[in-house]
Structure 1
Amino acid sequence: MAVLALALAAPLVIGATPTPTPTPDPERAAEYWLEGAHVDAAWKTTRGAGVTIAVIDTGIAKGPSQFDGAVTDGTDVSGIGSDDGRTPLGPLDSDHGSRVASLAAGRPNADGTGMIGVAPDAKLLSISLGFGATAPVPFAKQVAEAMKWAVDHGANVINLSFTTNTLEWDSSWDDAFLYAFEHDVVVVVAAGNRGSGTAMVGAPATIPGVLAVGGVDQHGVASKAASTQGISIAVSAPSESLLGVDANGTIETWNGTSGAAPIVAGVVALVRAAHPDMDANNVINHIIQTARPAPQATAHPDPLYGYGLIDAAAAVSASLPSVDQNPLGDLSDWIRLNRRAQAPAPAQPTSTPLAIPPLPRADTPTKATSPLIPSPDSLLYGTLPLVALTVPGILIALGVTAAARRIRSARASARQNPDD
């Protein structure tokens, strides 16, 4: 498998979108996507209560206050983390899972200030992965196990903020992702970043049916470093100058579709909370059909922007015709066509088979005798016919011989006694 990428850039300086006058809540003011993506308007309807978002990443740290009461369960699938999935993993990117979770469903301070996630009333599941060669469990196996664990523990939304930098994926992911889709779970995936070496969308964002997220800057323009391109991108969300809570509780700014994906995952949670009876296919349809057109898009969907820029309020409030299939593709059809599934069993014959009478029983074997002693059969079919043919021949031969001798004797006597 290709090198994995988490799209984590070096921290930026908070204040990329400065306000004219100082504000008592600079962190909240820096979250430009809350207003820009109409998240604050969607909060008039719901803040995500009753929905669970699984963050399959490096682990959600225990210390930050933004996760108090938010993380309800967790596990580790890497073999090197803690059982509850709350120990951040990775020597360089251990903050990644906490930053992702804070964007999706981080809690504000007790007084309502400070950084806040898109769906602050949603619950979180922390599933820790081990990236690179440090984990004893193969990465593909980790992801497959994590997907199934998340579904079995109540996830309504799964967020995957990583890429493999390759279009293909391990066959074990077929069943894992299909398991999520069959259990009505929306899977949100980061498209990847050019800045970390992803020129084109890679798996798992290439899996049919996932909600792949591209990245844009504060002006809605596709990010040159903190996004990528590909036909599987469904929608775009901010990926530059994002806030995120580190494992030690500090708030940093960062770039990447690793942050754009949880913003969309939070919006998915808002839609699911506002419409608890809506299935995953229709939730996805609401997300893509209500996306705002990107000014620089040249197609619909566009390889940079997908169907457009995420709009939380529209996705929550829109009334759309119901769909009966995932508008982003059917993984089961892909598996059938590309994995060369076993052919169906041949049909059973319907005609009545022809009855064949049994063969006659074999003769009872006789007692074995010596081949030197004549048997009745050998006398009847061998010896007697031979005698019948041989004896007359011998007698005839003897008679001919005797007659010949008499003739020779008579001629000899005539030569000895000529006529006078």
Structure 2
Amino acid sequence: MRARPARRLTARPAAALAAALAVAALALVPAAAPPLTAPAAADAVRDQQYWLDDYGIREAWQVTRGEGVVIAILDSGVDASHPDLAGVVLGGTDVSGRGNATGTLPLGPVGITHGTMVASLAAGRGSGPASGVIGAAPAAGILSISLAFGPTERSGDDQIAEGVRWAVDNGADIISLSLTRNQLDWPASWDDAFLHAERNDVVVIAAAGNRGSGTEQVSAPATMPGVLTVGGVDRFGRASGDASSQGITIGVMAPSEALIGAIPGGGHRFWQGTSGATPIVAGIAALVRAAHPELDAANVVNRIISTARPVTAAVPDPLYGYGLVDAAAAVSADVDPVAENPLGSLADWVALNRRAEAEPLAAALPELRAAIGRHADPAPFGMPTAGSAPPEPIIPIALIVTGVGTALATLAAAGVLRFVTRTRTE
């Protein structure tokens, strides 16, 4: 296994606004449905966290609690002053132009609670030995990278790309993305950012999205090769009708209903959605990285999906992926190593699908000309010269079709006429 590169945690000021840029924000929304009920009493919070036992998290803590691992939360900002997050936030930044320099100012009408809830499920430490929200990896650290949902001075695409790069450059071992673009595809700017994560051995985990929030199918970044996509199940391990989406890129399932998380100001709320399932899996990935520091990102992902508890006979299943995540097994089971990420490689996808259109088109045009030229003089396609009658077309249509077909085949082989949203063929 290749050694994980050492990365230095640094701080930097909030990103400067792009001058005179008035662009509507990407349709970038949190992957969670609104909270379900009023805040729970602080002394009853821990008892609500059924997933700690049901998904082997407490058992995994007998081996590790995620010491030394850094999880980057790209979200609406994490309230570092919450008692459950005391000492958890190591640093951060803002990429929206609206937050503070450390990414700890909760942003937006929806995001005002979102990022803090997400962080608490990943690495919360509770307000006492048996009170408050405790995350799946309570000894891990958090980087808070604040985004702004809805109309902003910066596009959502740009915010995500910058946030991912910042996370990688500032020490993240895991990036947790509880958001969706609501589209299968993603911009080319994400190629560079997510390739930066892939090449620097960072595990990227993304929410599948929620039907109840309008995401009928898994969308980017959860469609990107190499990304561990998390779907959601109810308390009984059944795929959630409202709090999860369906798609062939789902890796594992985790709880997405009857969740409880920390909110800015010191309180707690019940909520639902794959926004909550995702940081639970991010915390489990932190446990794996802490227990097996020799493993690269591909093998961390492999341990998580190969130790999941299958729900159906067909694995992976388009509804359940590889099954229900099992923290204890992911940390302690014997798992054969892999040479490549079993969820695919973004680098391979980019090489196949992001070639500049002009280059293969230019290469195909001589093929088209040659195909036509083999069958007829191209003069009939020219304008008539002075004093001459308009020429009659003399090229049989079948030959024209043959020539065009050859060129189109060339374009298709070059990737111009093909759009692939997934490289895995399980």
* 1:12 corresponding residue in structure 2: 36
Q: Which has the larger radius of gyration?
A: 1
Deviation at 1:160, TM superposition (A): 0.3
Aligned match for 2:96, one of 52, 74, 78: 78
Matched position secondary structure for 2:209: coil
Aligned match for 1:335, one of 342, 350, 359: 350
Once the two structures are superposed, the pairs formed by residues 126-145 of structure 1 within 5 Å of their partners are 126-133=144-151, 135-145=152-162
1:62 aligns with 2:80: yes
Given the two structures, how large is their TM-score scaled by the length of structure 1? Answer: 0.77
1:239 aligns with 2:256: yes
* 1:384 corresponding residue in structure 2: none
Which amino acid in structure 1 is aligned with residue 54 of structure 2? G
Deviation at 1:9, TM superposition (A): 2.5
With 60-69 and 180-189 compared, the bigger mean Cα shift is at 60-69
Alpha-carbon separation, structure 1, partners of 2:346 and 2:88: 31
Deviation at 1:131, TM superposition (A): 1.3
1:211 aligns with 2:235: no
* 1:259 corresponding residue in structure 2: 276
Matched position secondary structure for 2:30: coil
Alpha-carbon separation, structure 2, partners of 1:152 and 1:180: 9
Deviation at 1:319, TM superposition (A): 1.6
Once the two structures are superposed, the pairs formed by residues 21-420 of structure 1 within 5 Å of their partners are 26-133=44-151, 135-294=152-311, 297=312, 299-340=314-355
Which amino acid in structure 2 is aligned with residue 210 of structure 1? V
* 1:363 corresponding residue in structure 2: none
Given that 2:32 and 2:209 are in contact with CA atoms closer than 8 Å, whether structure 1 keeps it comes out as no
Matched position secondary structure for 1:95: helix
* 2:7 corresponding residue in structure 1: none
Given that 1:215 and 1:227 are in contact with CA atoms closer than 8 Å, whether structure 2 keeps it comes out as yes
Deviation at 1:5, TM superposition (A): 2.4
Deviation at 1:110, TM superposition (A): 3.5
Deviation at 1:28, TM superposition (A): 1.4
Given that 2:55 and 2:327 are in contact with CA atoms closer than 8 Å, whether structure 1 keeps it comes out as yes
Change (3 A) 1:28 1:14: farther
Alpha-carbon separation, structure 2, partners of 1:8 and 1:184: 28
Alpha-carbon separation, structure 2, partners of 1:249 and 1:331: 40
Given that 1:14 and 1:30 are in contact with CA atoms closer than 8 Å, whether structure 2 keeps it comes out as no
| Cα distance per residue 1:289-318 (max 9 Å; x no partner) | 000011xx3521011110000000000001
Alpha-carbon separation, structure 2, partners of 1:273 and 1:14: 35
Deviation at 1:24, TM superposition (A): 10
Matched position secondary structure for 1:266: helix
Given that 1:236 and 1:305 are in contact with CA atoms closer than 8 Å, whether structure 2 keeps it comes out as yes
Alpha-carbon separation, structure 2, partners of 1:327 and 1:103: 26
Given that 1:5 and 1:192 are in contact with CA atoms closer than 8 Å, whether structure 2 keeps it comes out as no
Matched position secondary structure for 2:191: helix
Matched position secondary structure for 2:237: coil
Deviation at 1:13, TM superposition (A): 4.1
Alpha-carbon separation, structure 2, partners of 1:313 and 1:123: 20
Matched position secondary structure for 1:187: strand
Structure 2 unaligned spans of 5+:
1-24, 361-426
Which amino acid in structure 1 is aligned with residue 36 of structure 2? L
Which amino acid in structure 1 is aligned with residue 57 of structure 2? V
Alpha-carbon separation, structure 1, partners of 2:333 and 2:42: 34
Given that 1:15 and 1:30 are in contact with CA atoms closer than 8 Å, whether structure 2 keeps it comes out as no
Deviation at 1:334, TM superposition (A): 0.7
Given the two structures, how large is their TM-score scaled by the length of structure 2? Answer: 0.76
| Cα distance per residue 1:35-63 (max 9 Å; x no partner) | 11010000000000010000000000133
Matched position secondary structure for 1:124: strand
Percent pairwise identity: 56
| Cα distance per residue 1:39-94 (max 9 Å; x no partner) | 00000000000100000000001331111111011000001111110101112331
Given that 1:233 and 1:304 are in contact with CA atoms closer than 8 Å, whether structure 2 keeps it comes out as yes
With 26-35 and 193-202 compared, the bigger mean Cα shift is at 26-35
With 112-121 and 306-315 compared, the bigger mean Cα shift is at 112-121
Matched position secondary structure for 2:33: coil
Deviation at 1:26, TM superposition (A): 2.4
Alpha-carbon separation, structure 2, partners of 1:11 and 1:140: 26
Matched position secondary structure for 2:96: coil
| Cα distance per residue 1:148-206 (max 9 Å; x no partner) | 11011100000000001110101100010010011000001000000000110000000
Given that 1:7 and 1:255 are in contact with CA atoms closer than 8 Å, whether structure 2 keeps it comes out as no
Matched position secondary structure for 2:180: coil
Change (3 A) 1:14 1:283: farther
Given that 1:8 and 1:93 are in contact with CA atoms closer than 8 Å, whether structure 2 keeps it comes out as no
Deviation at 1:112, TM superposition (A): 4.2
Alpha-carbon separation, structure 2, partners of 1:338 and 1:165: 21
Matched position secondary structure for 1:29: helix
Given that 1:14 and 1:241 are in contact with CA atoms closer than 8 Å, whether structure 2 keeps it comes out as no
* 2:16 corresponding residue in structure 1: none
* 1:3 corresponding residue in structure 2: 27
Alpha-carbon separation, structure 1, partners of 2:221 and 2:339: 23
Alpha-carbon separation, structure 2, partners of 1:233 and 1:116: 26
Deviation at 1:233, TM superposition (A): 0.3
Which amino acid in structure 2 is aligned with residue 12 of structure 1? L
